[in-house]
Amino acid sequence: MCARLSTAQRRLLKEYKELLKDPTEGIVAAPISESNLFNWHCLLVGPPGTPYEHGVFAAKMSFPKDYPLSPPKLKFTSEIFHPNIYKDGTVCISILHPPGNDPMMYESADERWGPLQSIEKILLSVCSMLAEPNPNSPANVDAAKLWREDRELYNKVVRRQVIDSLR
């Protein structure tokens, strides 16, 4: 790798080394290639005690050139049915929203992205989101409606995806 790394590349390399040195159970994340630290593959294991339990869900994380000043984008490549995940797999969670005040005044500034966040914190937040959806701010209206109105059917749909995630 070139000796002249940008601030973002140095930060991403540092976070990657930390993830390798001290891995978090249920989370795997790494750059797709050493020559491009801005695009990562991630695997998340469904949280225990949830309908996502035992699932292994793949995602891609892409980082802006001014990381950590701006948040990355996270998109599941595995099919995943969840109130806070768009149908295309894009994750909608406060920690990934741009820093500053929310123009809709739904989130406080401290819930949104800040440069002290990390890849590990993002992925842990997504695992928490899987366990505890926010149906009041849905990215997937169908999933939020089903989660509120027919939890048994919601869980059945998710468990089917868990089985598919293991194939």
Give pLDDT tens digits for 69-128.
Answer: 999 999 999 999 999 999 999 999 988 987 765 555 465 666 778 888 999 999 999 999
CATH of the domain at 30: 3.10.110.10
In angstroms, the CA 110 to CA 116 distance is 11
In angstroms, the CA 85 to CA 80 distance is 8
Nearest to 131 by CA among 147, 120, 117, 142: 147
- Please say if 92 is a catalytic residue: yes
Which candidate in 2, 42, 92, 127 is catalytic?
92
Domain that holds residue 73: 5-163
What is the longest distance spanned by two Cα atoms in the chain? 55
Specify the range with the lowest mean pLDDT, choosing from 19-23, 65-69, 133-137. Answer: 133-137
The 10 Å Cβ neighbour count of residue 14 is 11
User: % helix / strand / coil in the chain, to the nearest 5?
Assistant: 35, 20, 45
Tell me the pLDDT tens digit for each residue of 11-37: 999 999 999 999 999 999 999 998 899
CA distances from 58 to 13, 103, 130 (A): 21, 31, 14
Counting the structural domains of the chain, the total is 1
